[in-house]
Structure 1
Amino acid sequence: MPLLEIRNLTVEFATASGPFRAVDGADIVVESGDILAIVGESGSGKSVMMMAMMGLLPWTATVTSDVMRFDGQDLADLSTRERRRLMGKDIAMIFQEPMSSLNPCFNVGYQIKEALRQHLGLDRKERHNRAIELLEQVGIPSPEKRLNVFPHQLSGGMNQRVMIAMAIACSPRLLIADEPTTALDVTIQAQVLDLLTGLQRDTGMAMILITHDMGVVAETAERVSVQYAGQKVEEQPVTDLFATPHHPYTFALLAALPERATEKHLPTIKGVVPGQFDRPSGCLFSPRCTFADETCKSTPPAVQPASLGYARCHYPISAKTEETA
C-alpha cells in the first residue's frame, strides 16, 4: 500500500471573473522512503496540490479527487480535529518563505516547542531538550542560545534550518519541502539539500521536493513528476527522465539547462503558462510546443503508458525522435 496516493485531484478557485482551475486531474503516488520531485514553472500548481492535500487552502478553493489517502486513511473525510492531529506530526511541510512562515512575535524556541507540545505532549524540560537537539541536528551553532532569538535576528539560511527543525520535530513519515533552497546562495543551498537528504536517509521518511531547479532534482530525487498548467505531463525515474524525456515540455526544460546548451544563446520556451482565460481546448502546452499540430490544438491528449513516462501527449518523444529533434 502506498504511503500517499492521490488520484484525479482537481482544485478550483472562485474568483470575481469565474472559476480558475489551478490543479487539473493530477495524480501522485509516494511509497515509504521515496523521494519524489515535482517540477514545473511558477503557476503550474505544484504548491497548491500539496496545500490541498494538507487542507491549508482558503474557503474560495473547491477540492475534488477520486482518491486522497495517506497510509490507507481517507484524507477527504477527516474532521478538522483529526486533520490537526495528522498534519504536523505524520505529514509535515517546509514552506517556501521562512520569513513569512515563522511568526515574528515569538522566538524560534517557542515555535519549535509548540509543535512538540501539541503533537507529542512532552513536558517543559523534555520540550526544551528536544528543541536543542533539533537545532543541533539541522546544523545551527550554539543551539541553546539560538532558542531565544527571533526570526529577524537570523539569516535566511538559518531561518530555513529552523523551519526544517520544526518540520522534523515529530519525526514525520512524509516531509514536503516546498522550494527549500529559494533565495539562498549556492553554498547554503548545497548545505540545506545535504541536510534534507541526510535526514531522509537516517529516518527513512518519504519526501516530496517541490522545485523548478532541475539541478536540485538531479542531485536529490529518485523519481520526477513534471507538472504543467495544473496537469502532470510526465513521470519517470530521475536517471531515465534526464536521459530520455518523452513530453515536449520536459524536453524543452532540460534543453534550457546551461550545461546542456550547445549553441551560443541559451534555449528558452516561448510564451507563458496558460491562465484563467487562455487555456487551449486541446493540449495545454500546444501554443508553446514546436511539435504541435491541429490535433494537439483541438483534442486533449491521453496519458501514455509507463514505457513512455505517462506522458500526456499525442506524440510523445521516443529515443529515436529525440536524436533527430
Structure 2
Amino acid sequence: MPLLDIRNLSVDFATASGQFRAVDGVDVSVDTGDILAIVGESGSGKSVSMLAMMGLLPWTATITADVMSFGGQDLRGLSDRQRRKIIGKDMAMIFQEPMSSLNPCFTAGFQIKEALRLHLGLDAKERHAKAVELFEMVGIPAPEDRLKAFPHQLSGGMNQRVMIAMAIACSPKLLIADEPTTALDVTIQAQILDLLTGLQRETGMALILITHDMGVVAETAERVQVQYAGQKVEEQPVGDLFETPHHPYTAALLAALPERATSRKLPTIPGVVPGQFDRPAGCLFSPRCQFADDRCRSTPPAPCGPELGLARCHYPLNAKAEVTA
C-alpha cells in the first residue's frame, strides 16, 4: 500500500463568473522513501493538488477524489481536529514563499517551538534544545541567536532554512517542498537541495518536490509527474523521462532547457496555459502543440498505458519504439 494514494482528484473554485477547475482528475502515488517531482508551468495545479490533500484550501474550493489516503487513513472525511494531528507531524510542507508563510509577529524560535509543543508535547527546556538541534541540522549558524530573530531580520535563504527546520521538526513521513529554491541565488539553491535530499536519505521520509525547474528534477528526483492545466499528462522514472518523453508538452519542456538548445535561439512553447474561459474542447495542450490535428482539438485524450508513461495524448511520442522494444 502506498504511503500517499490519491486517485481522480479534482478541485473546483467558485468565482463570480462560475466554477473554475484548477485540478482535473489527477492521480498521485508515493511510497515510503520515494522522491517524486511534480513539474509544470505556473497554473498547472501542482501546488493546489497538494494543498487540497492537506486541507489548506479556502472555503471557495470544492474537492472531490475517488481515493485520498495517507498511511492507510482516508483523508476525505477527517474533521479539522483529526487533520491537525496529521498535518505538521506525519505530513509537512515547505511553502513557496517563506516571508509570507512565517508569522512576522513572532520570532523564528517561537514558531518552531510551537510545533514541538503541539505535536510532541515537549516542555520548555526540551523544546529549546530540539530547536537548536534542528537549526544546526539545516545549517543555520549561531542557532541560539537566530532563534531570537524575527523573519524580517533573516535573509531569504535563512528563512527558507527556518521553514525546512519547522517542516522536519516532528520527523514527518512525507515532506512536500513547494518551489523550495524560488528567488534564491544559485549557490543557496544547491545548498537547499542538498539539504533536502540529505535529510530524505537520513530519515527515510518520502519527498514530493513541486517545481518548474527541470534541472532541479534531474539532480534530485527518482520519478517525475508532469502536469498541464490541472491534468497529469505524463509520469516516468527521471532517467526515462529525460531520454524518451512521450507527451509533446514534456518534450517541449525538455527542449527549452539551455543545455539542450541546438541553436543560438532558445526554443520556447508558444501561447499560455488555458484559463477559465479559453479551455479547449479536446486536448488542453492542442492550441500550443505542433503535432495537433482536428482529433486533438475536438476529443479529449485518455491516458496511455505505463509503457508510454501514462501520457495523456492521442499520438504519444516514441510510441513505436516503446511498443516494439
TM-score when scaled to structure 2?
A: 0.98
- Equivalents in 2 of 1:129, 1:249: separation in Å? 48
Aligned to 1:45: 45
Q: Within 1, Cα distance between the matches of 2:82 and 2:125? A: 27
Q: Deviations over 1:221-254 (max 9, x none)?
A: 0000000000000000000000000000000000
Dislocated runs of 4+, deviation >6 Å: 319-322
What is the deviation of 1:164?
Answer: 0.1
Contact 2:40/2:228 (8 A) holds in 1: yes
State the shift of 1:111 in Å: 0.3
Give, in whole Å, the separation in 1 of the partners of 2:35 and 2:319.
26
Aligned partner of 2:199 in structure 1 is: 199
Question: Is the Cα–Cα contact under 8 Å of residues 116 and 122 in structure 2 kept in the other structure?
Answer: yes
Q: What do the CA deviations read for 1:119-165 (whole angstroms, capped 9, x no partner)?
A: 00000000000000000000001111111011111100000000000
* 3-state DSSP of counterpart to 1:160: helix
Output the amino acid matched with 2:277: F
Instruction: Show the counterpart of 1:62.
Output: 62
For 1:54-133, list aligned pairs within 5 A. Answer: 54-133=54-133
Matched to 1:276, the amino acid is Q
Q: What is residue 294 of structure 1 aligned with on the other side? A: 294
User: Is the CA contact 1:244–1:319 (under 8 Å) kept in the aligned structure 2?
Assistant: no
Residue in 1 that maps onto 2:140: 140
Q: Note if 1:234 corresponds to 2:257.
A: no
| Pairing 1:8-23 to 2, within 5 Å after superposition | 8-23=8-23
**Paired residue secondary structure (1:76):** coil
Distance in 2, Cα, partners of 1:315 & 1:321: 13
Match runs of 1:172-321 below 5 Å? 172-318=172-318
Code of the aligned partner of 1:173: K
Give the distance between the partners of 1:319 and 1:25, measured in 2 at CA.
24
CA distance in 1, matches of 2:319, 2:222: 21
Tell whether the 8 Å contact from 1:52 to 1:63 is kept in structure 2 after alignment. Answer: yes
Match of 1:153 in 2: 153
Query: Corresponding residue for 2:4?
Result: 4
Q: Say what the alpha-carbon RMSD is for the aligned residues.
A: 1.0
Contact 1:116/1:169, CA 8 A, preserved across alignment:
yes
SS at match of 1:252: helix
Displacement of 1:184 in angstroms is: 0.1
Q: What whole-Å deviation, never above 9, does each CA across 1:243-288 have from its counterpart, x for those lacking one?
A: 0000000000000000000012000000000000000010000000
Q: How many residues get paired?
A: 322
Equivalence for 1:33: 33
Counterpart AA for 2:122: L
Q: What's the offset of the Cα at 1:40?
A: 0.1
Q: Deviations over 1:37-63 (max 9, x none)?
A: 000000000000000000000000000
User: Helix, strand or coil for the counterpart of 1:21?
Assistant: strand
Q: Which amino acid aligns with 1:236?
A: Q
CA displacement at 1:319 relative to structure 2: 6.5
| C-alpha contact 1:179 1:209 (8 A) present in aligned 2 | yes
Does the 8 Å CA contact 2:308/2:319 hold for their aligned counterparts? no
One-letter amino acid matched to 1:138 = V
- Letter aligned with residue 283 of structure 1: C
Structure 1: which 5+ runs fail to align? none
**Aligned AA (2:120):** L
CA distance in 2, matches of 1:46, 1:230: 8
Query: How far, CA to CA, are the matches of 1:155 and 1:320 in structure 2?
Result: 51
Letter in 2 for 1:47: S
Where 1:163 maps in the other structure, the secondary structure is: helix
Q: What one-letter code is carried by the residue in structure 2 that aligns with 1:222?
A: E
List per-residue Cα deviations over 1:192-247 (Å, max 9, x = no partner).
00000000000000000000000000000000000000000000000000000000
Tell me the SS of whatever aligns to 1:128: helix
SS of residue paired to 1:77: coil
Distance 2:256 2:283 in 1: 21
- Which string of whole-angstrom CA distances, capped at 9 and with x for unpartnered residues, describes residues 286-317 of structure 1? 00000000000000001100010000000000
Question: Do the aligned partners of 2:254 and 2:260 also contact (CA within 8 Å) in 1?
Answer: yes
- Determine the C-alpha separation between the residues in 1 that align with 2:105 and 2:203: 32
CA distance in 2, matches of 1:109, 1:29: 34
